[in-house]
Structure 1
Amino acid sequence: MVEDDHELRDQILVPDLIDMGFDVQAAGSALEMYRQLMRGRVDAVVLDVGLPDEDGFSALVHLRQSDDVAVVLLTGRSGSADQIRGLDGGADAYLVKPVESEVLAATLRSVLRRRGRETAGNATATVLKASGWSLALEGWRLTSPAGKQVQLSHAELLLLAALMRTPGAAMSRDDLTKNIVAQLPEFDPYRLEMVVHRLRRKVEDGGAQPLPVRSIRSIGYAWAS
């Protein structure tokens, strides 16, 4: 997420995308973006055109020359000439501010599907199945036996993956928390119950049947087999 508007970036778009299942890095300038890209691979860049150190169209040219990464331009410039320039320059999508976070998320998923990146990455099993439910580890989606899909946050994904790998077995709160913190260091260990509560509500609100995660008194949680 390359956006110089601190409030829009850090208080709205980044938290919303994380809640919708994306792993997001934030940058306020083109230089910061280039430094992050040198540290590791990313699948997509949401790129503002009006950056403080480099024009977004110029940054787009550099991205196209150096890496095969999806690029979504996000800008206040609504003119057709700018849209044509961005799309002809290699952008996968062009969105005009203000944009709803859900629209941005849907756009990112669409361009990643077109580029075959939705399940890219780990060559090991990317789907866990238990009791008729399936968990897409790369797509961060839980699918009920009736086919209803729920998009997960990173913490929710890690929680369910741990439980679904050992259906029927109780896992302690400490073990679940350690598993999440190992991959999500900023996770607050005291939020585990909140994550479970929120996940149950999310699944029910999404029209799926009740989530088969049981609370085990004085121990933790288990996936009902």
Structure 2
Amino acid sequence: MHVAVLEDDSALREDILIPGLREFGFEARGAGSAGALYRLMLECRFDMIVLDLGLPDESGLSVVAHLRTLFNGLGIVVLTGNLRRSDHVRALSGGADAFLRKPADAEILALTLRNLARRLRPDAPDAPDATAAKPGWRLESDGWCLVAPDSRIVVLTTLERSLMRCLDARRGQAVGREALISALDADACDFDLHRLEMLVHRLRRKAARLSAPEEAPFPLLSSRGMGYLFAG
């Protein structure tokens, strides 16, 4: 998914927002002004725009309205440190899809963008069949999201995605730690086994946030003496 980041603070844009989005699987490019964004959009097609309201050459509210007029299917997420309710109302009424306060957490921003993409493209191939039996946990086809039985999602980092793609390819079977480490790092000899254990722990904890008490837990299971398996 291609995302443009319109933010005039170059350090925030290049050191935090863009790397954070890339870690969660987005193809992100940046612009420091409205004019730079418009030029960038002549070169590339974007699915989402993340923008700040305080820009040097044009009001962010004006940019939102302009983009919405030209691109009805474009996702627009506003980031701002401005706490004025009137700006929130004007941005949302002008065509923004979501409004997040700075500093935006990378995972929350990624979740916002992924959920927005699912709403904008409800007929995507990964949409569950309403007539089918209640599904279990599944990995979306591009590997960047885990989908819970109730269709809520967990966005994955690069390492989490590599882990889950390896496990999903052998769903229901135990995968050895060495094979998982090789999938995570080309130089497996330098990958600490404890990093794998911590990665699994963090992923289970992320998934647990979505699990209702009456539901079965996220089925990433330990296989004694072997490694891990994804029961689905």
| TM category, shorter | 0.5 to 0.7
What is the DSSP-based 3-state SS (H/G/I as helix, E as strand, rest coil) of the residue aligned with 1:4? coil
1:185 matched to which residue of 2? none
Matching of residue 52 in structure 1 with residue 56 in structure 2: yes
| 2-structure distance, mates of 1:112, 1:210 | 24
Evaluate the alpha carbon distance shift between residue 12 and residue 206 of structure 1 in structure 2; reply closer, same or farther with a 3 A threshold: farther
| 2-structure distance, mates of 1:198, 1:220 | 16
Evaluate the alpha carbon distance shift between residue 203 and residue 83 of structure 1 in structure 2; reply closer, same or farther with a 3 A threshold: closer
Q: Please tell me whether the aligned partners of residues 22 and 28 of structure 2 are also in contact (alpha carbons under 8 angstroms).
A: no
Evaluate the alpha carbon distance shift between residue 81 and residue 137 of structure 1 in structure 2; reply closer, same or farther with a 3 A threshold: same
Q: Give deviations 1:133-162, integer Å, cap 9, x for gaps.
A: 323346713426xx5956132332332232
- The amino acid that maps onto 2:91 is G
Evaluate the alpha carbon distance shift between residue 78 and residue 223 of structure 1 in structure 2; reply closer, same or farther with a 3 A threshold: closer
1:213 matched to which residue of 2? 221
Question: What stretches of structure 2 of length at least 5 have no aligned partner?
Answer: 129-134
Matching of residue 164 in structure 1 with residue 172 in structure 2: no
1:86 matched to which residue of 2? 91
Evaluate the alpha carbon distance shift between residue 180 and residue 53 of structure 1 in structure 2; reply closer, same or farther with a 3 A threshold: farther
- Indicate the RMSD between aligned Cα atoms, in angstroms: 4.6
Q: TM-score, normalised by structure 2?
A: 0.59
Kindly report which structure 2 residues correspond to 1:111-126, keeping only aligned pairs within 5 A, or say none. Answer: 111-116=116-121, 120=124
| 2-structure distance, mates of 1:199, 1:28 | 32
Matching of residue 223 in structure 1 with residue 227 in structure 2: no
Question: What stretches of structure 1 of length at least 5 have no aligned partner?
Answer: 183-187
Q: Percent identity?
A: 37
Kindly report which structure 2 residues correspond to 1:1-225, keeping only aligned pairs within 5 A, or say none. Answer: 1-5=5-9, 23=26, 25=28, 27=30, 29-30=32-33, 33-34=37-38, 37=41, 40-64=44-68, 67=71, 68-79=73-84, 82-83=87-88, 85-87=90-92, 89-95=94-100, 97-98=101-102, 101=105, 108=113, 111-116=116-121, 120=124, 132-137=136-141, 140-143=145-148, 151-154=154-157, 155-171=159-175, 175-176=179-180, 179=183, 191-204=195-208, 206-207=210-211, 209=217, 211-215=219-223, 217=225, 221-224=228-231
| 2-structure distance, mates of 1:52, 1:196 | 44
2:132 matched to which residue of 1? none
Structure 1 position 73, deviation (Å): 2.4
Structure 1 position 42, deviation (Å): 3.4
Q: TM-score, normalised by structure 1?
A: 0.60
2:131 matched to which residue of 1? none
| 1-structure distance, mates of 2:185, 2:70 | 33
Evaluate the alpha carbon distance shift between residue 107 and residue 149 of structure 1 in structure 2; reply closer, same or farther with a 3 A threshold: closer
| 2-structure distance, mates of 1:16, 1:158 | 17
What is the DSSP-based 3-state SS (H/G/I as helix, E as strand, rest coil) of the residue aligned with 1:25? strand
Q: Give deviations 1:68-124, integer Å, cap 9, x for gaps.
A: 3111222344556645653454333445x457648756654564444236x74xx5x
Q: Please tell me whether the aligned partners of residues 146 and 156 of structure 2 are also in contact (alpha carbons under 8 angstroms).
A: no
Structure 1 position 49, deviation (Å): 1.6
Report how many aligned residue pairs link the two structures.
Answer: 208
